[in-house]
A and B are shown apart, each in its own frame.
Chain A
Amino acid sequence: MKVYIKGGYQTKFGELWDKSLENLIFESVSYALKDANLDIKKVEVIYIANMLSPQIYNQNHINSLVSGIFKVNIPIIRVESACASGGVAINQAYIALKSGLFKNALVIGVEKMTDLANQRISKFLMSAASTEERSSGISFAGLYALIAQKYLSDYKITSKELANISIKNHFHASLNEKSHFPFEINIDNYNNSPIISSPLNLFDCSPISDGACAILLCTDKQKQSVEFASSQVATDSISLAKRENICEFKSTKIASLKSFEESGIERKDIDLLEVHDCFTIAEILSLEDLGFYKKGEGYKSSKNKDSYYYGKLPVNTSGGLKACGHPVSATGVKQVLELFNQIKGRCNKRQVRNARIGLAQNIGGTGGTAVINILKK
């Protein structure tokens, strides 16, 4: 059974104080259905990704919330895997369609994070880490800073290599009107920004954003459809601190191997990537763990401009998490929608030439969950 994407829609990502969680769900789904030319009444199952509503709004049972918004009584399943919630929701929809039990599925990724001060949100985000890590008082920036500190020391590189990643993602975001920060930055902006958790500064860290993204999957090949070549999930311990090597994510490596095995595609066939740059160091780790760059050389992708939309292997043409924004559960869906739009030639100023096969990698926590979706024309 083959699974296709019919259409999708991303809301603007940013500080959207005038939009509620329900507004974001309604907007993303309404326009996604329009793009796919499908009526809500024809949707057979919905997967909704959301992490923080229980903590921020005391709202569990999100699936039932969606039922009320669209007045449907179909199965609706909430999926949560920290920042990988969106990608995993897509994976679950893919599996449902592969089973033959459903002919189509709607996947929604939504997060509303800016109604509370950043400090409280940072604490809530630490629910994706271990008890020990929370007890130490560390934040997620701190956990990735530990990775960055060790990586820079092991491979004898400086934070300038991290800057190149941020500069590249901001450049892409400046070409994407849906992004949270649609502007370029330069090395001076990077160097003058405050340290968040040494050695990571403000421009190494993805922001706290609101936003939603919805896509429609189906098993009926339409003229304009893009196909799933594979969808794979892998996991690892919730604690970064307990792992043998903190500078690699086993979950990405395993999901990556399974993805290439399932799809029969080789790395050299991949035209573009959307990877999980929650922090600049994470983009470097992702490129290495996915096997596109040797260990210790992932930074070269941006240094050599290979990762720009016009380069050898474009990475994060959406602007990535850093510059497009990171409404946690919307990110994984946005990544796949970006691949879809690139393959369909709908990306205007950031269009990758001859984009035929794309890979999206979405991570939960510090690699506790990794999900990889590969799309092809």
Chain B
Amino acid sequence: MDSTIEKWRKSNNLHKFLGLKGTVISFTKDEFYIALAKMENKSNLLLQIVSESNELGIGDKVKIVLRRVKKPNKSEVIEYGYKFKKIN
């Protein structure tokens, strides 16, 4: 589990990939809906899919959006991260 310090360190870079678009390489429904996409900056990212998008297909276009990544307990820092959202 990330410490508060790790979460802070990660949060400094959160702006970098927001809004970035990509193409789905593969996906699965594990405990969550998850996709692997090749982004327009040539990097690959593995992220959950936002609940509104549900399943994606190989070749679908996605963009990165900001989401809360887990429900924090009373003493934890609220953690934000990326998820994929399908775009047309």
Contact = CB atoms under 8 A, between A and B. Distances in A.
A139 interface: yes
A132 B46 contact: yes
How would you classify the secondary structure of chain A's contact residues: helix, strand, loop or mixed?
mixed
Interface residues of A, number: 24
B8 to A, nearest CB: 15
A354 interface: no
Interface in B1-40: 25-32, 34, 36
B28 A142 contact: yes
A246 B45 CA distance: 13
Contact of B25 (A141, A142, A150, A197): A150
Contacts of A235: none
A246 B37 CA distance: 12
A137 interface: yes
Nearest to A200: B28
A149 interface: yes
A145 B29 CA distance: 9
A138 B30 contact: yes
Contact of B28 (A197, A241, A243): A197
Given A137-B32, A137-B34, A142-B34, A242 B58 contact: no
Contacts of B28: 138, 142, 145-146, 149, 197-199
B48 A137 contact: yes
Nearest to B30: A142
A99 interface: no
Contacts of B32: 136-138
Given A153-B58, A242-B44, A198 B29 contact: yes
A91 B36 CA distance: 34
A147 interface: yes
Interface in A146-172: 146-147, 149-150, 153
Given A196-B30, A198-B28, 14 more contacts: A137-B31, A138-B30, A139-B30, A142-B30, A142-B31, A142-B34, A145-B30, A146-B34, A146-B46, A153-B58, A199-B28, A241-B36, A242-B44, A243-B44
Interface of A: 132-133, 135-139, 141-142, 145-147, 149-150, 153, 195-199, 241-243, 246
